[in-house]
Structure 1
């Protein structure tokens, strides 16, 4: 496993069409292995905003930026996006590197 400070993180903000949230969640779960099956992927999370019912955040961690960029331009990723596209009305992407990681006291014990 990559050291936390070496992880490349991607944060997606996804806006869904009103009433399409259940379809979006189901499809995301059905095709999730398109991401998690990639050797450079360390896992991903789907989060739903508590402020905006139609907004989701997807966090995915990668061994490095090169591994993510290879996946980003792959046929698997294009298929993944095409399956989710009917439920999306907009969104954005931010990429980042973890600078420091402080585990919780409970996790350190």
Structure 2
């Protein structure tokens, strides 16, 4: 099971009026995550139903490497830059067990 993708999903509650700045800073500091050799990608999504709610999803080659990153100075610096925009949030972790590509994702 070592080849299973480890996925992290953050739900972030952003202070009202700070959404645009949060999105800008997230893009500016994103390479501190995506530049890590074990990171497979990262996505930022804004809720279509709740104001000020964002989801950050990142995929990792395995849980062990993510946990090492999670406690690193690199991650602490990244979190520190995003923290001023946050009023709350939560983290969920999971192992991807299957993936299906939709018809639109199969275009060349």
Give the TM-score normalised by structure 1: 0.91
Q: Tell me the alpha carbon deviations over residues 73-96 of structure 1, each in whole angstroms, 9 at most, x when there is no partner.
A: 110100000000100000000000
Misfit runs of 4+, over 6 Å: none
Q: Which residue of 2 aligns with 1:32?
A: 30
Q: How does 1:24-103 map to 2 (within 5 A)?
A: 24-103=22-101
Q: Which residue of 1 aligns with 2:9?
A: 11
Kindly tell me the number of residue pairs found equivalent between the two proteins: 106
For 1:101 and 1:87, locate their aligned partners in 2 and report how far apart those are by CA, in whole Å.
Answer: 33
Residue 108 of structure 1: how far off its partner (Å): 8.4
SS where residue 103 of structure 1 aligns? coil
Residue 28 of structure 1: how far off its partner (Å): 0.4
For structure 2, the residue ranges without an aligned partner over 5 or more in a row are none
| Cα root mean square deviation, aligned | 1.8
Give the TM-score normalised by structure 2: 0.92
For structure 1, the residue ranges without an aligned partner over 5 or more in a row are none
SS where residue 32 of structure 2 aligns? helix
